[in-house]
């Protein structure tokens, strides 16, 4: 029987990992994700989880240990935050290119400067092009569920890709919520043991990662790209099975909130969705037809689902929570993806972006109201005046 | 907590005849003519046999061995970044511990061997190597030492000797000796700071049976071990390809290289000559030292003399740092 | 690379890369990297003078010398010998000599076309 607990995102991730029966864990402390490893180390110390708990000497080592373990055929789990995520950058491509489906929990943290502990998605968004599956949870329950689902997706023979299982630092990682912890037996039925198709095993020797002819480079890149093209179908299946097995109600790619008659929507990832839902409720009370669409997977980016969903509205505002300095839209990353997805839609809605949720800042209700003002105008005019609004600073 | 799984019990090779004819590092690689590290690789592989997993951090022994989607290893091998051989090995060892414990892998723990160059061991790879040594993983870290970043065109590394001409330390009017620093002592780094380590050795490709036995001895120890192997590089050190073994022998005869074992705090020495020859004889045979003056060679001799007072054991060496005047 | 991709994208055989670039290991030799054509001189052994000290076997970086235990003589692998001549240098009885490769009929493994 599933039991209910009151857990923050970090503990919830740890329970998700335990239920997934991770076999090798590699740790290194950095706030805020540290809580995941503190919880897991207790579970291992108490004998509740039979795993090797390896204290990496840094994040670079953590990821190396994890993909090494995965290469040997074990289910491996690691995690990090902020500059720790970027310190390990070298190791992401070898793990993805070697098709080693280890999982890395991310509790986001702003990069330095500003030198604070707050959440901002730029850390792991910097690694979005390395060939890892990635997406954000919005609350502790989804953290636990995603942890289990990501192993199922990443280890699928059609996929074999490592995963960034992300949650916002503090907003999700440290704010407790009700979490239904599934029964181990039910998880075992859902998630079969990891079966590496090409392990480092002396009884069937292989060579992993040799040099290639330059001409073979595109072919090997195509292979990884193709895995991402095949992944959405696997995600759909894994989410459907999960919903059935555990009685949840996830849409594979998008959470839509009050969108049936919405004129405009906030488009975002992660924990700020919880404030966004309140903001939408309040705006509705004032007669403003606002809605919210939350992205559940950044990679693979669900192009068709996003195009289909967002083309229904008169205006879209992305809430960036990450930076892309000097990018095409002069602000964040999300708008690039959204505008690209909408490019071939007839009469696409105007899309602008909001720089908010940076450096750990809370995206307040007031800020949502000021964004709503911009989007109401855009819906009326059928165009946007700016690619990007720095919320609280740009005049609206 | 984790119960240690069974490890190897490899027999010592008593003579050349007892060295296996079977190859595990196979013919068919793009290493240079007379490559010292390739010879080292071959001998290490004969020592380990096939029940092994080798890790190849970036370096000559990755790039020149796997070119064009083919590989010369009969045992499982995996490329690692030049930075992380020790960490990847740790992950593999941890995985085998748990897989064996859970009955998912039926055999005994394979020999897990990192074949890292000097850069991948004590420069950019130092952190991961030290992490593996500290945590006590049952794996062997081999530093095949060709005294430079040879793969990228002979740049200086912390193992490059004083006075060597490398493409990052060219001798010139302002810096006549080329490389001004003395090398890091790899084995002392490992011995000095890693309580989980019980066996460290140096070896030379000029003494293959000794090399093979040291590798086997290292593997027979439970826990992390380190073997530092002198592997002359004809291209980088600029000598005739046929002289690789001769140069390695001369290093022993002049004290430029000392073969020793360190077992639980006890040193034993091998191949010590009755009388050391002057280092000039070693240096003059290699074009990388051709620009040095007698004064420079005397400085090297003083360094070696001090080191030989207690080889392997740290003593105060007469080394002037670059910021001292 | 899986068959499906190769067919879908019409990838020619020489560009097909296995999943994750993971190769099955070779057993005896790596035919993907023949190096016998590097050689300009060839080590030739005088079996009469050879004492089977095994130095050539021990010191060859390319593992081209082996002991034929039945015949009690050294055998040499022409496909991979790069002609470094460590064997000649380390032979204690000078029973290996360096012979110019051009002395041998079809001795050098030539490339089919120049680079």
**Region of poorest pLDDT, from A24-38, A60-74, A214-228, A241-255:** A214-228
Residues A154 and A31 in one domain: yes
Residues A318 and A240 in one domain: no
Closest CA to B85 of A209, A164, A163, A30: A209
The verdict on a CB contact (< 8 Å) between C19 and A208 is: no
**Averaged over B42-56, what is the pLDDT?**
97
Neighbouring CB atoms inside 10 A of A47's CB total 8
pLDDT at C13: 85
C67 vs C20, higher pLDDT: C67
Does the residue A12 lie in any domain? yes
Question: How does pLDDT run across B279-309, given as a tens digit for each residue?
Answer: 999 999 999 999 999 999 999 999 999 999 8
Distance CA A192, CA B20 (A): 42
Q: Which residues of B touch A74 (CB under 8 A)?
A: 94-95, 98-99
Distance CA A230, CA B227 (A): 46
Distance CA A203, CA B75 (A): 9
Distance CA A327, CA A388 (A): 11
The verdict on a CB contact (< 8 Å) between A66 and B88 is: no
The partner residues of A317 in beta bridges, in order of sequence, read A266, A352
User: Is C30 touching A (CB cutoff 8 A)?
Assistant: no
The verdict on a CB contact (< 8 Å) between B27 and C63 is: yes
Interface test with A, best of B94, B115, B125, B151 (most A CBs within 10 A): B94
pLDDT at C111: 61
The verdict on a CB contact (< 8 Å) between A220 and C21 is: yes
User: Is C33 touching A (CB cutoff 8 A)?
Assistant: no
Contact (Cβ atoms closer than 8 angstroms) between residue B55 and residue B81: no
Alpha carbon of residue A185 to chain centroid: 26
* Rg value, chain C, Cα: 19
Q: What domain count does chain A have?
A: 2
Which of A182, A213, A246 is a domain's end point?
A: A246
Does the residue A225 lie in any domain? yes
In degrees, rounded to 5, the angle at the alpha carbon of residue A339 between the alpha carbons of residues A260 and A249 is 40
Q: Is the pLDDT of residue A16 over 50?
A: yes
Residues A196 and A328 in one domain: no
Question: How does pLDDT run across B232-260, given as a tens digit for each residue?
Answer: 999 999 999 999 999 999 999 999 999 99
pLDDT at A352: 98
pLDDT at C110: 59
Closest CA to A292 of A321, A320, A255, A322: A255
Q: Looking at chain B, which subunits does it touch, using at least 3 CB pairs closer than 8 Å as the criterion?
A: A, C
Contact (Cβ atoms closer than 8 angstroms) between residue B269 and residue B317: no
Q: Which residues of A touch C19 (CB under 8 A)?
A: 99, 160, 197-198, 223
Q: Which residues of C touch A213 (CB under 8 A)?
A: 14-15
Distance CA B94, CA A208 (A): 19
**Averaged over B113-132, what is the pLDDT?**
98
Question: Is the C-alpha dihedral spanning B252, C66, C27, B99 positive or negative?
Answer: negative
Q: Would you place residue A5 in the very low, low, confident or very high pLDDT band (cuts 50, 70, 90)?
A: very high
Contact (Cβ atoms closer than 8 angstroms) between residue B55 and residue B82: no
Question: How does pLDDT run across A329-381, given as a tens digit for each residue?
Answer: 999 999 999 999 999 999 999 999 999 999 999 999 999 999 999 999 999 99
Residue A95 sits in a domain of what CATH number?
Answer: 3.40.50.970
Contact (Cβ atoms closer than 8 angstroms) between residue B141 and residue B200: no
Q: Does C29-103 carry CATH code 3.10.105.10?
A: no
**Region of poorest pLDDT, from A280-294, B156-170, C92-106:** C92-106
CB-nearest to C20 from A198, A215, A216 is: A198
Does the residue A395 lie in any domain? no
Residues A171 and A288 in one domain: no
The verdict on a CB contact (< 8 Å) between C61 and B36 is: yes
Q: Is the pLDDT of residue A142 over 70?
A: yes
How far apart are the CA of B256 and the nearest CA of chain C, in angstroms?
21
Residue A338 sits in a domain of what CATH number?
Answer: 3.40.50.920
Interface test with C, best of A219, A221, A229, A233 (most C CBs within 10 A): A219
Residue A192 makes CB contacts below 8 A (sequence gap 6+) with: none
A342 vs C112, higher pLDDT: A342
Contact (Cβ atoms closer than 8 angstroms) between residue B248 and residue B48: no
Q: Which residues of B touch C77 (CB under 8 A)?
A: 27
Residue the block writes with tokens 């607990």: A5
The verdict on a CB contact (< 8 Å) between C1 and A223 is: yes
The verdict on a CB contact (< 8 Å) between A202 and B52 is: yes
CB-nearest to C25 from A98, A206, A215 is: A206
Question: How does pLDDT run across A80-118, given as a tens digit for each residue?
Answer: 999 999 999 999 999 999 999 999 999 999 999 878 889
Q: Is the pLDDT of residue A328 over 90?
A: yes
Does the residue A137 lie in any domain? yes
Using DSSP's 3-state secondary structure scheme, residue A188 falls into helix
CB-nearest to A202 from B53, B83, B95 is: B53
The verdict on a CB contact (< 8 Å) between A203 and B107 is: yes
pLDDT at B3: 45
Q: Which residues of C touch B38 (CB under 8 A)?
A: 61-62
Q: Which residues of B touch A22 (CB under 8 A)?
A: none
Q: Is the pLDDT of residue C73 over 80?
A: yes
Q: Is the pLDDT of residue B5 over 60?
A: no
Question: How does pLDDT run across A17-62, given as a tens digit for each residue?
Answer: 999 999 999 999 999 999 999 999 999 999 999 999 999 999 999 9
Residues A291 and A193 in one domain: no
How far apart are the CA of B109 and the nearest CA of chain C, in angstroms?
20
pLDDT at B2: 43
Q: Is the pLDDT of residue B135 over 90?
A: yes
> Maximum CA pair distance of chain B?
66
Q: Looking at chain C, which subunits does it touch, using at least 3 CB pairs closer than 8 Å as the criterion?
A: A, B
The partner residues of B114 in beta bridges, in order of sequence, read B55, B141
Neighbouring CB atoms inside 10 A of B127's CB total 16
- In what helix (H) or strand (E) does residue B21 lie, and over which residues does it extend? none
- Secondary structure letter of residue B276 according to DSSP: P
A301: containing domain: 254-390
CB-nearest to A68 from B77, B87, B105 is: B87
Got the DSSP string for A123-187? HHHTTTTSS-EEEE-SSHHHHHHHHHHHHHHHTSTTT---EEEEE-TTTTTSS-EEEEEPPHHHH
Q: Is B194 left (phi over 0), alpha (psi -120 to 50) or beta?
A: beta
pLDDT at B1: 36
Contact (Cβ atoms closer than 8 angstroms) between residue A259 and residue A291: yes
pLDDT at B172: 97
End-to-end CA distance of chain B: 55
Q: Compute the mean pLDDT over every residue in chain A, rounded to the nearest whole number.
A: 97
User: Is B242 touching C (CB cutoff 8 A)?
Assistant: yes
Contact (Cβ atoms closer than 8 angstroms) between residue A149 and residue A242: yes
Q: Compute the mean pLDDT over every residue in chain B, rounded to the nearest whole number.
A: 94
Which of A246, A270, A301 is a domain's end point?
A: A246
Cis omega before residue A113 (within 30°)? yes
Q: In this structure, what are the phi and psi dihedrals at residue B230, rounded to the nearest 5 degrees?
A: -70, 120
pLDDT at C109: 58
Distance CA B46, CA B22 (A): 7
> CA of C18: which chain B residue's CA is closest?
B69
Residues A66 and A124 in one domain: yes
The ranges assigned to domains in chain C are 29-103
Residue C43 makes CB contacts below 8 A (sequence gap 6+) with: C56, C76, C81, C83, C85, C87, C88, C96, C97, C98, C99
Question: Is the C-alpha dihedral spanning B145, B149, B155, B156 positive or negative?
Answer: negative
User: Is C95 touching B (CB cutoff 8 A)?
Assistant: no
Distance CA B85, CA A125 (A): 27
The partner residues of A3 in beta bridges, in order of sequence, read A181
Domains defined along chain B, listed by start: 34-308 (3.40.50.970)
- In what helix (H) or strand (E) does residue A364 lie, and over which residues does it extend? none
How far apart are the CA of B151 and the nearest CA of chain A, in angstroms?
14
**Averaged over C67-93, what is the pLDDT?**
97
CB-nearest to B128 from A64, A70, A193 is: A64
User: Is C2 touching B (CB cutoff 8 A)?
Assistant: no
The verdict on a CB contact (< 8 Å) between B75 and A55 is: no
Interface test with B, best of A59, A72, A95 (most B CBs within 10 A): A72
Contact (Cβ atoms closer than 8 angstroms) between residue B152 and residue B164: no
**Averaged over C70-93, what is the pLDDT?**
97
């Amino acid at each position: 029987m599933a039991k209910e607990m009151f857990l923050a995102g970090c503990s919830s991730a740890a329970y998700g990992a335990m239920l997934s029966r991770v076999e090798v864990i590699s740790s290194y402390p950095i706030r805020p994700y540290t809580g995941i490893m503190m919880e897991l180390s207790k579970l291992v110390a108490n004998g509740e989880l039979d795993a090797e708990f390896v204290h990496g000497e840094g994040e670079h080592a953590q990821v190396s240990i994890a993909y090494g373990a995965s290469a040997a055929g074990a289910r491996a789990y690691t995690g990090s935050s902020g500059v720790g995520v970027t310190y390990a950058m070298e190791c992401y491509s070898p793990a993805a290119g070697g098709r080693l489906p280890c999982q890395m929990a991310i509790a986001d943290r702003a990069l330095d400067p500003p030198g604070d502990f707050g959440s901002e998605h730029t850390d792991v968004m910097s690694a979005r092009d390395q060939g890892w599956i990635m997406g954000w949870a919005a609350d502790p329950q989804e953290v636990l569920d995603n942890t289990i689902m990501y192993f199922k997706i990443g280890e699928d023979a059609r996929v074999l890709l490592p995963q960034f299982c992300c949650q916002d630092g503090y907003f999700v990682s440290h704010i407790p919520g009700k979490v239904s912890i599934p029964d181990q037996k039910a998880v075992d039925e859902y998630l079969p043991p990891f079966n590496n198709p090409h392990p480092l095993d002396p009884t069937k020797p292989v060579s992993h990662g040799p040099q290639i002819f330059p001409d073979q480079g595109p072919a090997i890149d195509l292979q990884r790209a193709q895995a991402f093209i095949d992944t959405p179908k696997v995600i759909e299946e894994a989410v459907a099975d999960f919903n059935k097995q555990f009685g949840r109600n996830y849409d594979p790619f998008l959470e839509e909130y009050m969108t049936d008659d919405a004129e405009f929507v906030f488009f975002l990832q992660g924990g700020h969705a919880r404030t966004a839902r309140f903001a939408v409720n309040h705006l509705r009370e004032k007669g403003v037809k606002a809605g919210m669409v939350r992205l559940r997977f950044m990679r693979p980016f669900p192009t068709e689902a996003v195009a289909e969903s967002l083309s229904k509205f008169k205006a879209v505002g992305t809430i960036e929570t990450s930076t892309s300095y000097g990018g095409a839209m002069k602000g964040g990353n999300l708008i690039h993806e959204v505008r690209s997805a909408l490019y071939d839609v007839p009469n696409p809605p105007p899309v602008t972006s909001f720089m908010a949720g940076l450096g750990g800042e809370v995206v307040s209700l007031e800020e949502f109201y000021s964004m709503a003002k911009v989007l109401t105008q855009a819906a009326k005019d059928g165009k946007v005046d700016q690619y990007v609004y720095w919320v609280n600073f740009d005049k609206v | 907590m984790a119960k240690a799984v069974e490890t190897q019990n490899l027999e010592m090779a008593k003579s050349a005849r007892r060295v296996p004819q079977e190859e595990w590092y196979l013919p068919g690689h793009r290493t240079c003519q007379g490559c010292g590290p390739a010879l080292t690789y071959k001998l290490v592989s004969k020592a380990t046999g096939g029940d092994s997993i080798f890790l190849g951090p970036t370096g000559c022994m990755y790039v020149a061995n796997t070119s064009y989607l083919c590989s010369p290893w009969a045992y499982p091998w995996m490329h690692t970044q030049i930075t992380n051989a020790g960490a990847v090995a740790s992950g593999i060892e941890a995985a085998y511990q748990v897989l064996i414990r859970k009955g998912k892998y039926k055999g005994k723990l394979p020999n897990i061997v990192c074949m890292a160059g000097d850069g991948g061991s004590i420069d950019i790879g130092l952190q991961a190597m030290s992490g593996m040594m500290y945590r006590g993983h049952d794996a062997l870290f081999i530093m095949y030492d060709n005294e430079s970043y040879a793969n990228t065109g002979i740049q200086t590394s912390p193992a490059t000797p004083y006075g060597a001409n490398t493409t990052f330390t060219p001798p010139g009017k302002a810096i006549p000796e080329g490389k001004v620093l003395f090398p890091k002592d790899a084995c002392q780094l490992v011995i000095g700071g890693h309580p989980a380590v019980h066996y460290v050795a140096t070896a030379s490709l000029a003494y293959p049976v000794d090399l093979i036995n040291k590798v086997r001895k290292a593997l027979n120890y439970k826990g992390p071990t380190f073997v530092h192997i002198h592997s002359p590089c004809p291209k980088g050190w600029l000598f005739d390809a046929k002289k690789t073994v001769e140069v390695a022998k001369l290093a022993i005869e002049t004290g430029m290289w000392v073969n020793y074992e360190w077992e639980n705090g006890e040193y034993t020495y091998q191949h010590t000559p009755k009388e050391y020859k002057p280092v000039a004889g070693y240096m003059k045979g290699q074009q990388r030292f051709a620009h040095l003056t007698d004064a420079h060679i005397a400085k090297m001799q003083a360094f070696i003399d001090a080191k030989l007072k207690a080889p392997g054991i740290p003593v105060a060496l007469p080394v002037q740092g670059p910021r001292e005047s | 690379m899986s068959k499906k991709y190769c067919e879908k994208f019409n990838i020619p055989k020489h560009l097909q890369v296995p999943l994750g670039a993971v190769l099955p290991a070779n057993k005896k030799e790596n035919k993907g990297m023949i190096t016998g054509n590097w050689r300009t001189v060839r080590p030739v052994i005088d079996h009469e003078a050879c004492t089977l000290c095994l130095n050539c076997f021990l010191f060859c970086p390319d593992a081209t010398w082996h002991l034929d235990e039945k015949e009690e003589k050294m055998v040499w692998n022409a496909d991979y010998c790069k002609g470094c001549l460590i064997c000649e240098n380390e032979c204690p009885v000078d029973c290996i000599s360096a012979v110019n490769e051009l002395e041998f009929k079809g001795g050098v493994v030539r490339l089919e076309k120049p680079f």
